[in-house]
Chain A
């Protein structure tokens, strides 16, 4: 798989700054052949379609999702519906930026996004056994956000 870590890092850093006004510190996590998440409580899952199939996962705590939503909406109080919608849109926008950068690098890839889904709950484990991933963590004043970009492994 191509290494997209820098491109993912640039997209998440610039989008968090523009949307939430937060300066995220990015750390790269070790690339893995299998990606297993012990989720922190609030997950956004965005499917990738096109020449190569994959998915992007955003994992954070409910508290961080709440705090990020307040900052993004510039409101002191946000209800759960708005938190879900805001985090979905954040996931969609960051994913769209990542995919756009990849499409502009590889003109024939024609990657598109599926609508985002949200998973909420304690003790959730997500496993993607058939993908190779780039994984990083964005540490923000609102709390940490883990991002995993995975594409199906080639034959």
Chain B
């Protein structure tokens, strides 16, 4: 069974980087959302195992999108990916239920390990 990953990020460059990092057969990029609102909609439709979530996006940012996804599914596994990595922001993300945080630029191996960790921990 494949681990279904939903990418929520407005940057095609990041879509490529994540897709490249998760090119192993055990992962399936089941959807790509270009803003937080699309992310909520695609989460409902696709029921992914893991979500990678950017913070700064048009229409709806990653924090609000995560809140809405977690309201729909409190067990949602969300990895926040952001260029910003200061403690205040990480605490804010954790306080709404985001489980893991990865600062950009991330190495492919880091992303793979983080996706695997969040998936296994449930």
Question: Does any Cβ of A come within 8 Å of B107's Cβ?
Answer: yes
The 8 A CB mask of A72-108 against B (1 = contact, 0 = none) is: 1110000001100110110011111101100110010
A: number of interface residues (CB 8 Å)? 27
A96 touching B104 by the CB < 8 A rule? yes
Question: Does any Cβ of B come within 8 Å of A19's Cβ?
Answer: yes
Expressed in whole angstroms, the minimum distance between the Cβ of A136 and any Cβ of chain B is 19
Expressed in whole angstroms, the minimum distance between the Cβ of A16 and any Cβ of chain B is 10
Question: Does any Cβ of B come within 8 Å of A26's Cβ?
Answer: no
A115 touching B56 by the CB < 8 A rule? yes
B88 touching A85 by the CB < 8 A rule? no
The 8 A CB mask of B8-52 against A (1 = contact, 0 = none) is: 000111101000100000000000000000000000000000000
Question: Does any Cβ of A come within 8 Å of B84's Cβ?
Answer: yes
Expressed in whole angstroms, the minimum distance between the Cβ of A113 and any Cβ of chain B is 7
B13 touching A96 by the CB < 8 A rule? no
Expressed in whole angstroms, the minimum distance between the Cβ of A11 and any Cβ of chain B is 10
Distance between Cα atoms of A112 and B13 in the complex (Å): 22
B: number of interface residues (CB 8 Å)? 19
Distance between Cα atoms of A116 and B12 in the complex (Å): 15
Query: Which B residues are in CB contact (< 8 Å) with A110?
Result: 88
Distance between Cα atoms of A7 and B12 in the complex (Å): 29
Expressed in whole angstroms, the minimum distance between the Cβ of B29 and any Cβ of chain A is 17
Expressed in whole angstroms, the minimum distance between the Cβ of B53 and any Cβ of chain A is 15
Expressed in whole angstroms, the minimum distance between the Cβ of B35 and any Cβ of chain A is 12
- Give the number of A-B contacts (CB < 8 Å): 59
B84 touching A96 by the CB < 8 A rule? yes
Give the residue name and chain of the B residue nearest to A15 (CB).
B105
Interface residues of B in 80-122 (CB under 8 A from A): 82-88, 103-105, 107
Distance between Cα atoms of A63 and B88 in the complex (Å): 38
Give the residue name and chain of the A residue nearest to B85 (CB).
A100
Expressed in whole angstroms, the minimum distance between the Cβ of B42 and any Cβ of chain A is 20
Query: Which A residues are in CB contact (< 8 Å) with B13?
Result: 72-73, 82, 85-86, 89
**Interchain Cβ contacts under 8 Å between A and B, 30 examples:** A18-B107, A72-B13, A73-B13, A73-B16, A82-B12, A85-B12, A86-B13, A89-B11, A89-B14, A89-B104, A92-B56, A92-B83, A93-B104, A93-B105, A96-B83, A96-B84, A96-B103, A96-B104, A97-B83, A100-B103, A103-B86, A103-B88, A104-B87, A107-B87, A107-B88, A110-B88, A112-B84, A113-B83, A113-B84, A115-B58
What residues of chain B have their CB less than 8 Å away from a CB belonging to chain A? 11-14, 16, 20, 56, 58, 82-88, 103-105, 107
